Amino acid sequence: MIFIDINQEQIPALGLGTFGLTGQDCRTSVADAISLGYRHIDTAKMYENEQDVGSGIQDASVDRNDLFVTTKIWHTDLSHAGITAGLEDSLQKLQMDYVNLTLIHWPSSDMDLRECLDTLMELQQAGKTRLIGVSNFPSSLLKEAKALAPIVCNQVEYHPYLGQSAVLNVLSEHQMMLTAYCPIAKGEVLEDQYLINLGKKYGKSPTQITLRWLVQQENIAAIPKSGSSKRRASNFDIFDFSLTDEEIANIHALHQNRRLINPHFAPVWDN
């Protein structure tokens, strides 16, 4: 496993995304992932699966201190009361006293960013969350947030076809991490001839090549979601090889500014 060191926390660079997993499927997937070696679990209030994620963690019988758990506050709850109640509700459903990281899931055009971040800092001081951060923040808003609070992370869509250079530059400047969701571009990497050829060289799939490309970058985590134990195991099997600098650069060169997640309430993105 590769770890990211942020604010005295060791964050596993590969985690399990749980968006779209609910009920028993989610509970089983989380427990299975932990049995395979995953120690980073990502959920959110909007996913409506925190109860199932928490039950899956309980089923796995792993020491809570060995897990890194992230949850997120939805963009309609971005007030002092909404954030406070939202995290309390998440903790109750997860059956936990704290989460490792709490994120603003999406920025809102009418949010008071200072109030939101002050509230997250209050919850951090109270021990409800170890770290705080944001998600889906473009570079200008990310800079504004970092000036107001000790945020450590921006979780964004990031894969070979969406380079995120502007966001990455800000994160690098401030020693923050990026967590990549949609890391295999909804399966599009499986049809990419360069990734297919590179996989043949290493005896790996295009998915494994892509995940390795992500976690081999400094301060980058990836959270692929899978409802299949076989695919979860395959996704985790990326720590026995390394890509060359040239191969990493070639994958960066696949960038097409192709954004796959863009809801109507999304901010104005960086080009």
pLDDT tens sequence across 143-202: 999 999 999 999 999 999 999 999 999 999 999 999 999 999 999 999 999 999 999 999
One DSSP character per residue, 230-241 reads HHHHHHH--SS-
Residue 61 predicted with pLDDT over 90: no
Average pLDDT over residues 79-92: 98
What domains does the chain contain, in order, with CATH numbers? 11-183+220-226 (3.20.20.100)
- Output the pLDDT for position 48: 98
- CB of 260 closer than 8 Å to CB of 130: no
Tokens found for residue 249: 């650069």
One DSSP character per residue, 84-148 reads HHHHHHHHHHHT-S-EEEEEE-S--TT--HHHHHHHHHHHHHTTSEEEEEEES--HHHHHHHHHH
Average pLDDT over residues 262-271: 93
pLDDT tens sequence across 216-237: 999 999 999 999 999 999 999 9
pLDDT tens sequence across 17-57: 999 999 999 999 999 999 999 999 999 999 999 999 999 99
> What is the Cα–Cα distance from 107 to 224, expressed in whole angstroms?
23
DSSP 159: B
pLDDT band at 68 (very low <50, low <70, confident <90, very high): very high
pLDDT tens sequence across 117-135: 999 999 999 999 999 999 9
> What is the Cα–Cα distance from 215 to 103, expressed in whole angstroms?
20
Phi, psi dihedrals of residue 107, rounded to the nearest 5°: -70, 155
Question: In the annotation, is 47 catalytic?
Answer: yes
Q: Which of 38, 47, 158, 161 is catalytic?
A: 47
What pTM did the predictor assign?
A: 0.97
- Output the pLDDT for position 271: 66
Tokens found for residue 268: 């104005």
pLDDT band at 8 (very low <50, low <70, confident <90, very high): confident
